Amino acid sequence: MIAQVADQPFVRWDWIVDHVDDIWAATWEHIVLTAIAVGVGFVISLALSMLALRHRRTYGPITWVTGILYTIPSLALFAFLVPITGLTTLTAEIGLVSYTLLILIRNIVAGIDGVPASVRESAVGMGYTRRRLFLEIELPLALPVIVAGIRIAAVTTIGLVTITALIGKGGLGFLILRGLNLFYSPVGTTQIVVGTVMSVLLAVAVDLSLVGAERAMTPWARSRHR
């Protein structure tokens, strides 16, 4: 069996050429699943962070609950959710979103806590309302720390999306799972390699574009040592 495997090509390039459309569809699904997870996760995290910043006492419980969500093994979480929400995108996203919350909330709160007190005091002293202070001063200044959180959340989510293949989603994870089911046939290993390589490339591409976006949005941080 093993000798047989060794005799055969590990990656079958002809399979890749024939399945470009499939691969692209899987990649696109992967991107969509990730984008929804990080987007929804960010909105929820922003709301919870604002609550935590305004009422400091809630910060402990919020990180405690999201911390527990973060530690639940993903397989167990999906197994638990399927009877309730079925083999749906919703099930996948509940899991994926849950895993982004702790990272995002921690970074949003830390970012806003990092805004110098003197900046806040002068803003309030000049007549900023609470809302405008948050949107126009605190949030932009916290951006580098918040983006750092989004990067971790996005890269983690891209990895986790492959697991959702087990509930019939999965993007590139679907290719990997199908490859596993074909044991170690050349078509199987090819799909595993394609799924893995594309997933890694996607993570790197998303991370780099987030770095680029942060640099574009924070021109003041670049000119510090001119």
Instruction: Kindly list the residues in this chain that would bind another protein in the complex (CB under 8 A).
Output: 116, 118-129, 132, 137, 140-141, 218-220, 223-224, 226
Taking the least distance from each CB to another protein, the nearer of 69 and 143 is: 143
Q: Give helix 20-54 / helix 139-161 axis angle, nearest 10°.
A: 140
100 by Cβ neighbours in 10 Å (0-12 / 13-18 / 19+) ranks as buried
108 neighbors 149 (Cβ within 8 angstroms): yes
Q: How far is the CB of 35 from another protein (least distance, A)?
A: 27
| 180 half-sphere exposure, CB direction, 13 A CA radius | 12
Closest CA to 33 of 76, 104, 94, 87: 94
Q: How far is the CB of 54 from another protein (least distance, A)?
A: 17
Q: How far is the CB of 148 from another protein (least distance, A)?
A: 16
70 neighbors 102 (Cβ within 8 angstroms): yes
101 by Cβ neighbours in 10 Å (0-12 / 13-18 / 19+) ranks as buried
Taking the least distance from each CB to another protein, the nearer of 24 and 54 is: 54
Taking the least distance from each CB to another protein, the nearer of 57 and 224 is: 224
Taking the least distance from each CB to another protein, the nearer of 124 and 204 is: 124
Q: How far is the CB of 146 from another protein (least distance, A)?
A: 13
Taking the least distance from each CB to another protein, the nearer of 9 and 54 is: 54
Q: How far is the CB of 72 from another protein (least distance, A)?
A: 38
Which residues neighbour 155 within 8 Å (Cβ) at sequence distance 6 or greater? 203, 206, 207
